[in-house]
Structure 1
Amino acid sequence: MARLFADHDGNARFFVTPKDSSETTRLTVHCEAPGGVTDQTVELRASKTSNSEYPPPPALPSPVGQVRRALSRDEAANMSDEELIKGGYPLPPDERLSPNEYEIWLRDVTSQRVAVNPGLLVNRFTRHDYGNTRNGPATSNNWSGVELRGSSGPFAWVSAWWTVPTVTGESKTQTNSSTWVGIDGDGTTDLAQAGTEQDAFDTGSATVTTYRAWTELLPNQPTESVLTGVSINPGDQVFTEVWIGPAGGSPSLTSAFFMVVCLENLTSSAGACFNYTPVGSTIIGGSEAEWIMERPGQCDSNGNNCTLSDLANFGNVPVFTTNVLARRSNSGRHQGYVGCCGTGSFLINMTSDGTATGTTLDTTNTTGGTINFQWSAFH
């Protein structure tokens, strides 16, 4: 069963790929809302070309929110962290360490964008959990990607830009995958993270895929919160940063009052900056920064009895496609940045049981700062 989340207007978006375009695909949509529960049957037929019988789909609605003005390049280069935050702009990567990511950031802040209401919705059915990396070589049963740790930290900010991968599934089975950036969580009791979810459900006659944006802060936010105001589609370009600090101030572990998330869809020109989640009793140490592809946990309606999902098939993809960065706590403007993939970092490969001898689910490699993922198996 694929799980969907509606936006502010009650629209839920999903993608259907039939296995035989000549047949009608029938789906039952089970709708839950405060006013009650209803079931709707949907019949779908596919065509490679549009005509009177197969009209083109309606245009996607434009994002609704407050328009954020475009900065000039000079403004963007000279504004302080506090000025950027006040204006609702993400904080910059370091131009010297990662000129490509800096140009992506410039493209974002020098374009007019819509700051949407994130519309946080607690989803107790999905949990993006701690890692448990084993060394020699580094493996995990739920994470793959790159982890940065050691004397280059502690880290209070992490960012990435990625293209949302297109996923497929296995026959008559629900499969899931998540792409995210975060701080801590491997061998610690804290984890601050945000990213996109890519799921696939095979009905036997068609594959239904869904995509969404989410945040999570462990342990006091044990399951994901969906950003219903930010629409995510396969192939969208997403810029995300997660950091710890005070409201309106620079990243700082000594003033760790909030997890701050900025997630911008560069393709749709909409995003949510800044979303503040109180850290509560969570203590963020900043010992690690991560760029991860994960198979999340699927839980019961109370967020308990979670089991690892089968891993949705995303193929062989360069997901984090530039030299992404972390930033040390209490660093000044243009200071404290560390690249993802140099000294102090290591690759994590995902296997069925977290050991080097388990079934390989996903392997990671880096080329010139690009983090590549190779899907191998569902489970």
Structure 2
Amino acid sequence: MKQRMFSLVSALLLAAPLIGTAQNQQQLKPNELATNLAGVTTIAAPPKDFDPLTASDQDLEYYGFPPRPNEIAAPKAFATWQRAMAASTTRITPVLEISKTLANPSTVKAAPPSGSSGPVTSTSWAGYVNKNGATTYGSSSFYFAIADYDVPNVRQATCDGGWDYAVTSVGLDGWGSSDVLQAGTEEAEYCSGTVRASYYAPVYEWYPLGLTSVTSMSIAPGDELFVEVWTTSSTSGHVYLVDYSTNQYVIVSFAAPAGIYLVGNSAQWGMSLYGGLATLKNYISEYMSNAYAYNFSYSAVDPGSASSFPVDMVTGLGAIATPTLLGPSGIWIQN
């Protein structure tokens, strides 16, 4: 069914090898596995008796699990990580497909007024951003960002004769930097007359490259997901996604595009459009919870932190998506 969906948007979604984009190509580790895209790897499943909840930090890294938050400094982030690790029972081997579309939140039109927490506006993105003041990748940079959310059920209010797209994601950079490292899900619906079709897939992106879909992992509207993105250098990114509804999880590691270096100066949680191809007003609202970002100095922030601010998605017709805080770590995006 998914392959038939892809054929409807073949002009946008093209399977192609990731050649010439990765920097710092390195030899694979003993348990590191190549994927169908050059420069993108995953990790072999750990032994059956392996328990990420009790494993050492070194073993977690070796088997591809995301870093453990500090239980004392960030107890809520730690509890979210614990739940995700406990649900990680079936590791999926990623089969990947590249898209020419972009889901970056970098088309920001205004900065927060001095002494104000926002909101600010973007033509393609709505959510919450936290800035930490980092200017280069180092100890003050964000290390990882996480969130739980339910996959939204996309539904065009009025059939527009084509596809509408959106991406729900967690990410690093994208505000005051030239790149975005993010992961989450792509949600799309086609509607023409009485014909409707939909498509949902885990995705990741290191902008300015386009989205890459994990076609081997099936998700569905209403599934509850955990998503984490993190870095081990300014050019090495990692994605970990768990579907609580199926206990399936996937790990993907990849290098930054040539000439791109992560700063780690911002973290964001929200929903974006593909370069103006979609009308978000046709989408059901999105809810994210347990949204946190963690820096190398072992401190955590969330959308409710003093250094966080909301971003409204605005077109010539006005705001089409606005985020609302639901507690310090929850976001509700409405249109």
TM above 0.5, one fold? Answer: yes
Distance of 2:227 and 2:47 partners within structure 1: 17
Aligned counterparts of 1:260 and 1:374: Cα–Cα separation in 2: 26
- Confirm or deny that 1:311 pairs with 2:280: yes
Quote how far apart the aligned CAs of 1:197 are: 1.0
1:262 Cα deviation after fit: 1.1
Using the aligned pairs only, state the percent identity. 23
Alignment-mate amino acid for residue 146 of structure 1: Y
Contact 1:158-1:325 within 8 A present in 2 as well? yes
Q: Which SS does the other structure have where 2:211 is aligned?
A: strand
Q: Does 1:158 align with 2:145?
A: yes
Instruction: Compute the displacement of 1:294 (Å).
Output: 1.0
**Distance in 2 (alpha carbons) for counterparts of 1:13 and 1:94:** 42
Tell me if structure 2 keeps the 8 A contact 1:198–1:212: yes
Q: Indicate conservation of the 8 Å contact 1:261/1:274, yes or no.
A: yes
**Separation of aligned partners in 2, 1:107 and 1:68:** 20
Ranges in structure 2 where 5+ consecutive residues have no aligned partner: 15-43, 113-117, 135-139
Query: Which of residues 120, 126, 138 in structure 1 aligns to 2:120?
Result: 138
SS of corresponding position for 2:159: coil
| 8 Å contact kept, 1:167–1:312 | no
Counterpart AA for 2:62: K
Match of 2:263 among 271, 285, 300: 285
Give the distance between the partners of 1:349 and 1:171, measured in 2 at CA. Answer: 23
Amino acid aligned to 1:117: T
Picking from 90, 110, 113, the partner of 2:89 is 113
Is 2:139 the partner of 1:172? no
The structural deviation recorded for 1:181 is: 0.8
2:9, 2:299 → 1: CA distance? 49
User: 2: distance between equivalents of 1:67 and 1:244?
Assistant: 21
How far 1:100 moved relative to its partner? 5.1
Q: CA deviation at 1:373?
A: 3.1
Question: Which residue of the partner structure matches residue 227 of structure 1?
Answer: 214
- Verify the 8 A CA contact 2:88 2:242 in the aligned structure 1: no
SS at match of 2:310: strand
**Within 5 Å, which residues of 2 pair with 1:176-195?**
176-195=165-184
Q: Is the 8 A contact 1:258 1:279 kept in 2?
A: no
- Alpha-carbon distance in 1 for matches of 2:323, 2:257: 31
Pairing 1:363–2:322 present: yes
**CA distance, structure 2, for counterparts of residue 156 and residue 267 of structure 1:** 27
| Contact 1:70–1:110 (8 Å) recurs in 2 | no
Counterpart for residue 76 of structure 1: 53
Alpha-carbon deviations, 1:35-93, whole Å to 9, x = none?
xxxxxxxxxxxxxxxxxxxxxxxxxxxxxx84764655xx625621x321212322234
Aligned to 1:340: 303
Whole-angstrom distance in 1 between the partners of 2:221 and 2:49 = 26
State the Cα deviation string for residues 248-295 of structure 1 (Å, max 9, x = none). xxxxxxx32311111222212222124333453211111110001112
Contact 2:94 2:252 (C-alpha < 8 Å) held by counterparts: no
Change (3 A) 1:169 1:116: same
Partner of 2:30: none
Q: Is contact 1:84–1:90 with CA below 8 Å preserved after alignment? A: yes
The 3 A distance-change label for structure 1 pair 79 and 310 is same
| CA RMSD, 1 decimal | 3.1
Tell me the SS of whatever aligns to 1:234: coil
Retained in 1: the 8 A contact 2:119–2:309? no
Whichever of the two has the greater Rg, that structure is 1
Aligned to 2:129, which of 141, 147, 155?
147
Q: Partners of 2:333 and 2:249 in 1: how far apart?
A: 29
Give the counterpart letter for 2:325 in structure 1. Answer: T
Segments of 5+ residues of structure 1 without an aligned counterpart are 7-11, 15-27, 35-64, 246-254, 298-306
Aligned equivalents of 1:327, 1:100: Cα separation in 2: 12
Corresponding position of 2:254: 276
Give me the whole-angstrom Cα distance separating, in 2, the residues matched to 1:88 and 1:342.
30
1:127: how far off? 1.2
Q: Corresponding residue for 1:320?
A: 288
